[in-house]
Copies of this chain bind each other. A is one copy, B any other.
Amino acid sequence: MLFSKACHYAIRAALYISSRSENIVPIREISDELEISFHFLTKILQQLTRHHILTSLKGPKGGVGLNKPAEEISLKSIVLAIDGQDFFEGCLLRLDKCSDAHPCPIHDEWKPVRRQLLNFLESTTLDQFQSKVKSKKFRMKV
């Protein structure tokens, strides 16, 4: 699988949050709607908050919300916050510092494919899906 389970949860939650017009959405609502364990989701969203992708508010009327405009939140930033940068340096043989200078045998062939993957994650932002998610015609769970 491309990403960790936590990372997939994070992307789903981020899509959900960005589709809600309210600034702040309680995590309980997200976990109910997306059928994700509340406590696990809380931990994951805390990471997004620490990375300044979300803001959070405690107490009644509390919850989480986007910390910047949806068009400034890329899938890449979410993956980076949850799974770290391992993915982005990804060598097909998992060599430590596989590079043009010290490449593995697949490096040259793999590079353009990885580039396209990165381009997609960089250029894809939450705002692109807001209307789809709002329409409720697209699956957000199981």
Q: Does A82 contact B (CB under 8 A)?
A: no
Whether the pair B139, A103 counts as a contact (CB closer than 8 A) is yes
B contact residues around A109 at 8 Å (CB) = 120, 124, 128
B contact residues around A142 at 8 Å (CB) = 95-96
Q: Does A24 contact B (CB under 8 A)?
A: no
Residue from the list B1, B11, B75 in contact with A90, Cβ < 8 A: B1
Q: Apart from A12-B93, A109-B128, what are 5 other A-B pairs with CB-CB below 8 Å?
A: A2-B2, A11-B93, A102-B139, A105-B132, A105-B140
Which 5 A-B pairs rank lowest in CB-CB distance, beginning with the nearest? A8-B94, A105-B132, A105-B138, A105-B129, A113-B120
Taking beta carbons and an 8 Å cutoff, which residues of A are in contact with B? 1-2, 5, 8, 11-12, 15, 75, 86-87, 90, 92-96, 98, 102-107, 109-110, 113, 116-117, 120, 124, 128-129, 132-133, 138-142
